[in-house]
């Protein structure tokens, strides 16, 4: 996420508290934010229609509720937004 082009603000969800803190520190220069939560809880706490993209890198195959996680990802996407799995 630190390589995102200017104009994008990275948001992340990380289940590990230590990794979430480290990631947020790494994204500070882009005004990024990282929430310490499981994916579904983190997505449910984000606003509707907010994001242009959701990336689930090396993640979804480990999720215990992938259907609801994908539905939550769809809810937070703005019109025309994409999910990269």
- Tell me the three state secondary structure of residue 55: strand
**pLDDT one digit per residue (tens) for the chain, 85 residues:** 777 888 899 999 999 999 999 999 999 999 999 999 999 999 999 999 999 999 998 888 999 999 999 999 999 999 999 999 9
What is residue 7's predicted lDDT score, i.e. its pLDDT? 87
**Can you tell me whether residue 33 is helix, strand or coil?**
strand
Give the residue extent of every domain in the chain.
1-36, 47-85
Q: Give Cβ neighbours of residue 15 (< 8 Å, ≥ 6 apart).
A: 36, 37, 38, 39
């Amino acid at each position: 996420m630190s390589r995102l082009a200017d104009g994008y603000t990275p948001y992340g969800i990380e289940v590990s508290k230590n990794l979430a803190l480290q990631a947020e520190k790494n994204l500070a220069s882009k005004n990024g934010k990282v929430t310490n939560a499981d994916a579904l809880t983190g997505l449910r706490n984000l606003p509707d229609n907010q994001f242009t993209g959701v990336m689930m890198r090396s993640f979804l195959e480990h999720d215990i509720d992938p259907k609801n996680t994908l539905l939550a990802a769809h809810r937070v996407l703005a019109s025309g937004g994409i999910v990269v799995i």
